[in-house]
């Protein structure tokens, strides 16, 4: 089956495993992990989202104290800290549809955060600050994770619906 080109910007681009950036909140330093390094990569999504939200707070604090800087700081603060609690809501979803919806909210907020971070970079408001590099890299990775999770959950929902036979409904004996 031939895959058609996706007409929107929702296309996910591959990352290179040999150039992974990690952010240390305590020192405020981003470092590059290369293959063969002894540092372990984080796979705990909750911890990654918490670290990401913390970095967003740090980034918003270094933006200029101007009308535009305050506006962008407020916007990235809202969108960048939102995925952490929304992921918690997804973990306690009431249904599969609710779970997928909450994951989509996280994805939407991460995409918005990436846009604000790109604007900050374009304006050179955080020039040479490793926090911005971390936010840009981590937002890309988190977007890929949530995008794939949503696709998997949707595929699983379709597969489950196909497995469940449609049962005819008959009136109860008491209704007769």
Low-confidence ranges of the chain (pLDDT < 70): 1-43, 165-166, 173, 175-176
Distances, alpha carbon 172 to alpha carbons 164, 165, 167, 169, 175, in Å: 22, 20, 14, 9, 5
The pLDDT, as a whole number, for residue 24 is: 55
The pLDDT, as a whole number, for residue 169 is: 75
The pLDDT, as a whole number, for residue 166 is: 65
Q: What pTM did the predictor assign?
A: 0.70
Query: Could you give the 3-state DSSP secondary structure of residue 88?
Result: helix
The pLDDT, as a whole number, for residue 171 is: 74
The pLDDT, as a whole number, for residue 163 is: 79
């Amino acid at each position: 089956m031939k895959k058609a080109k996706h007409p929107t910007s929702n296309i996910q681009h591959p990352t290179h495993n040999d150039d992974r950036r990690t952010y240390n909140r305590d020192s405020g330093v981003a470092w590059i992990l290369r293959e063969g390094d002894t540092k372990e990569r984080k796979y705990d999504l909750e911890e990654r989202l918490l670290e990401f939200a913390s970095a967003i707070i740090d980034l918003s604090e270094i933006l200029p104290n101007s009308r535009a800087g305050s506006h962008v700081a407020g916007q990235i603060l809202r969108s960048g800290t939102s995925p952490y609690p929304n992921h918690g809501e997804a973990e306690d979803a009431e249904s599969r549809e609710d779970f997928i919806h909450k994951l989509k909210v996280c994805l939407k907020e991460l995409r918005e955060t990436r846009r604000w971070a790109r604007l900050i970079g374009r304006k050179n408001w955080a020039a040479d600050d490793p926090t911005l590099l971390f936010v840009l890299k981590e937002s890309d990775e988190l977007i890929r994770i949530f995008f794939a999770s949503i696709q998997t959950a949707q595929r699983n929902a379709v597969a489950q619906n196909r497995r469940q036979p449609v049962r005819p409904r008959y009136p109860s004996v008491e209704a007769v």
